[in-house]
Amino acid sequence: MKKIRFAIIGCGRIAQRHAAHITNRGVLAAVCDVVKERADELARQYDATAYYTIEELLKREAGLDVVSVCSPNGLHAEHSIKALEAGSHVLCEKPMALRVADCESMIKAADKAGKRLFIIKQNRYNPPVEAVKRVLDEGRLGKIYSVQLNCFWNRGADYYANSWKGSLKMDGGTLFTQFSHFIDLLYWMLGDIIQVRSMMHNYAHQGIIEFEDTGAVLLQFANGAMGTINYTVNSYGKNMEGSLTIFGEKGTVKIGGQYLNELEYQHIQDYKIENLPVGNIANQYGTYQGSMSNHDKVYDNLLDVLHNNGSMTTSAWDGLKTVSIIEKIYSTAVHI
């Protein structure tokens, strides 16, 4: 079986994880970053060719099978569209983009090119998340009454220093960069959201970020359930919790831990979730942690789709829905 040739656009911290998984499954032919030193270092580590503009990479590396887009949020649409138009499939990091209109342009570019557009939503692979999704799909909780999503992480000034993170244009907001995976799970597990109200404030990051560090959101789902999202990056010193609690007529479940990695509570009529496999550890970034590291499963799915015509676990339309929900939250926000 022919090995798939990959390139990575954006050589920041998450690109290291992509590079490792790519070299276990295919060939990392090229990397690209506007910061020359970053591109050179990643290229040196993986014996790839370094480029400093996406245009030069796509011009010189003919026949790339997949381009993994790991650039800042605000460049995801531009970089994905250029790679698709050049004839490559695209695997795009979260969030898909910062506007629904950009997501639609990405989908149109993929359709026109006849290429696949994969969006990374690795938290769907967390063992307790997969188990609760099955319980919901089987109707074991009955009618869903309400949902609580809590996202309590720590992101200090050092995290945002000398970075695109924290800017409206490139970062987009706390829900885009820190918690878009959590928003995706709300949609994936419970369906579409039809009404939103929210309040936000920047308490501890004045002069550091251009948006909120804390928010409270009230949701109404299309299935009639109500929900709340409470989130902050002001948890003192370290991440505290990433949890999802679901209240139904036949059961209550809570997925918790720092990043939805533990089944903390279950009480379900005539049923018990048992024998959950141990999940991957969190993404480690030196002074802080990210979500559970399931990029290996993302790449396995990509190969299954491209080699065996398997089913894509996260479609571009799912990526668009996440952006749409976040847009609704921000558009209704009262800034106190």
Residue 232 belongs to some domain of the structure:
yes
pLDDT value, residue 1: 75
DSSP state of 181: H
Domain endpoint, select from 94, 122, 150: 122
Q: What distances in angstroms separate CA 187 from CA 121, 279, 291, one per listed residue?
A: 12, 22, 18
Nearest to 258 by CA among 302, 288, 287, 219: 288
Q: How many domains does the chain have?
A: 2
Domain that holds residue 268: 126-289+316-335
Does the structure show a pLDDT above 60 at 290? no
Residue 187 belongs to some domain of the structure:
yes
Q: Are residues 149 and 85 located together in one domain of the fold?
A: no
pLDDT value, residue 2: 83
Helix H or strand E segment including 148: strand 144-152
Q: Are residues 104 and 176 located together in one domain of the fold?
A: no
Residue 317 banded pLDDT, cuts 50, 70, 90: very high
Residue 303 belongs to some domain of the structure:
no
Average pLDDT over residues 78-92: 98
Does the structure show a pLDDT above 90 at 288? no
pLDDT value, residue 188: 97
pLDDT digits (tens, 9 = 90+) for 98-134: 999 999 999 999 999 999 999 999 999 999 999 999 9
Domain endpoint, select from 105, 122, 139: 122
Residue 296 belongs to some domain of the structure:
no
pLDDT digits (tens, 9 = 90+) for 209-224: 999 999 999 999 999 9
pLDDT value, residue 278: 76
Q: How far apart are CA 108 and CA 49, in angstroms?
A: 30
Tokens 């190969």 locate to 303
Q: Are residues 161 and 266 located together in one domain of the fold?
A: yes
Query: What percentage of residues in the chain have a pLDDT greater than 90?
Result: 92
pLDDT value, residue 277: 86
DSSP state of 292: E
Q: Are residues 176 and 72 located together in one domain of the fold?
A: no
How is residue 272 written in tokens?
Answer: 């018990």
Q: How far apart are CA 178 and CA 154, in angstroms?
A: 10
Q: Are residues 64 and 156 located together in one domain of the fold?
A: no
Q: Are residues 284 and 190 located together in one domain of the fold?
A: yes
Q: Are residues 173 and 271 located together in one domain of the fold?
A: yes
How is residue 72 written in tokens?
Answer: 């800042």
Q: Are residues 35 and 101 located together in one domain of the fold?
A: yes
Write b or e for each residue in 28-37: b if 16 or more Cβ atoms lie within 10 A of its Cβ, otherwise e. Answer: bbbbbbeeee
Determine if the peptide bond prior to 95 is cis (ω within 30°): yes
Does the structure show a pLDDT above 80 at 271? yes
Residue 283 belongs to some domain of the structure:
yes
Q: Are residues 90 and 149 located together in one domain of the fold?
A: no
Domain endpoint, select from 122, 150, 178: 122
CA 215 distance to own-chain centroid: 19
- End-to-end Cα distance, the chain: 57
Residue 161: partners with Cβ closer than 8 Å, 6 or more residues away: none
Query: What percentage of residues in the chain have a pLDDT greater than 70?
Result: 96
CATH number at residue 161: 3.30.360.10
Backbone conformation region of residue 169, classed left if phi is above 0, alpha if psi is from -120 to 50, else beta? alpha
Residue 281 banded pLDDT, cuts 50, 70, 90: low
Arithmetic mean of pLDDT over the chain = 95
CATH number at residue 53: 3.40.50.720
Q: What distances in angstroms separate CA 95 from CA 109, 135, 323, one per listed residue?
A: 18, 27, 7
Residue 93 belongs to some domain of the structure:
yes
Residue 306 belongs to some domain of the structure:
no
Does the structure show a pLDDT above 70 at 291? no
Does the structure show a pLDDT above 90 at 18? yes
Q: Is 105 exposed, middle or buried (0-12, 13-18, 19+ CB in 10 A)?
A: middle
Does the structure show a pLDDT above 80 at 279? no
Tokens 């979260």 locate to 94
CA dihedral 164, 315, 258, 157 (to 10 degrees): 10
Q: Are residues 52 and 176 located together in one domain of the fold?
A: no
pLDDT value, residue 284: 52
Q: Are residues 267 and 239 located together in one domain of the fold?
A: yes
Average pLDDT over residues 74-97: 98
CA 109 distance to own-chain centroid: 21
pLDDT digits (tens, 9 = 90+) for 133-184: 999 999 999 999 999 999 999 999 999 999 999 999 999 999 999 999 999 9
pTM (global) more than 0.85:
yes
SS3 at position 287: coil
Does the structure show a pLDDT above 80 at 35? yes
Average pLDDT over residues 292-298: 85
How is residue 73 written in tokens?
Answer: 């949020």
Q: What angle do CA 38, 42, 48 make, to 5 degrees?
A: 125
Q: Are residues 107 and 130 located together in one domain of the fold?
A: no
Residue 301 belongs to some domain of the structure:
no
